[in-house]
Amino acid sequence: MSILRKGTKKYELVKKSRESALAAVQIFNNPNITFKSEAFSVLIIISWTYLLHAYYEDKNIDYRYYKKPNQRKIFDRTKHGAYKHWELERCLDNTNSPIDRESALNLKFLIGLRHEIEHQMTSRIDDSLSARYQACCLNYNYYICKFFGKEFGIEKHLSFSLQFSSISEEQKDLLSEFEDLPSNIKSYVTRFDDSVSDEDFGSPKYAYRILFVPKTVNKRGQADKVIEFLKPDDPLAAKVNTEYQLIKETEKVKYRPSKIKEIMNNAGFTGFSIHHHTKLWQSLDTKNNSKGYGVKIEQQWYWYERWLEVVKQHCRDNANIYQ
């Protein structure tokens, strides 16, 4: 852990990094602001960039861009003469980066998201992606404390936002979780998530997800907290997670028609073809979004697991045709 002295470049980087992180969260939690995700992604990326610049400054690692044509460094500069320093993604890709893989994946997701939203107006993405933002904040607090001491932590300045709406008692159907997103954001999220391993996708450093269950009984004399946390090995937590898994259909598993044909052929239905698959979905009108059998991404249709089960049953019912 490094010692910071006021007035040094390293101290100013950490100070501005911390203020940028606080500003990102305060804006996101402000009920009067609808420009939440856009502002959060820009400010939190600046925050992490400055934090890693401070880290590299502390380790005497040069984080300026340069060329070396004749064994002599020629530093890249802006049109006004300032040094060009590494952007966040370059900081993360450096072999000396201290950031763990899952936290880096979370940041690269936000970097790509910022690229999507900075070029055109977006809407309706705050709730759908809030787990990624929450993980980013927790990861940031962990690393700023690790690098420069707990006195720079931001957890004491943050709390859960009070809500004017209650949490639904019924689980939202996750098949429609991304249906209301702008098409470019939906495409980006799907492509990025499909490139992430199941282990990384489930990590709380990539996306911090909490399942809320209403508490119907209060006890007098106990602290009246809006949210209470259970340890993962608590019997109640295990029960809740089991029941949640029964109704959760992951957004990651999708199939193209060729893959469905391959699966059915490998299952012994060698006569089942793409043509048969097309005829089947057309007869059942299953590309109707309201039926929840798949999703259209970048002008291509992807089928969910529940459609694959329909195809399997169809092949079993018509085994004399396909076997």
Residue 174 confidence (pLDDT): 38
For the whole model, what pTM was predicted? 0.64
- How many CB atoms neighbour CB 10 within 10 A? 19
Pair 20, 50: CB distance under 8 Å: yes
Residue 250 confidence (pLDDT): 44
3-class DSSP assignment, residue 26: helix
User: How far is residue 199's CA from residue 130's CA, in Å, rounded to a whole number?
Assistant: 20
Residue 171 confidence (pLDDT): 38
Q: Which residues of 305-317 are buried (b: 16+ CB within 10 A; e: fewer)?
A: eebbeebeebbee
Handedness of CA 62, 67, 73, 77 (dihedral sign): negative
- How many CB atoms neighbour CB 127 within 10 A? 12
Residue 63 confidence (pLDDT): 95
Residue 194 confidence (pLDDT): 76
Residue 124 confidence (pLDDT): 66
Residue 316 confidence (pLDDT): 93
DSSP per-residue string spanning 243-255: HHHHH---SS--B
Pair 48, 14: CB distance under 8 Å: no
Q: Which helix (H) or strand (E) holds 143?
A: helix 130-148
| One pLDDT digit (tens) per residue for the chain, 323 residues | 677 788 899 999 999 999 999 999 999 888 888 888 889 999 999 999 999 999 999 999 999 999 988 888 899 999 999 999 999 999 999 999 999 999 999 999 999 988 888 766 666 677 777 888 888 998 999 999 999 998 998 887 665 555 554 444 443 443 344 455 667 677 777 777 777 777 887 777 877 665 555 555 555 554 455 455 556 666 666 655 554 444 344 445 788 899 999 999 999 999 999 999 999 999 998 888 778 888 877 678 888 888 999 999 999 999 999 98
Q: Which residues contact 57 (CB under 8 A, 6 or more apart)?
A: 9, 10, 13, 63
Residue 203 confidence (pLDDT): 78
Residue 283 structure tokens: 């007869």
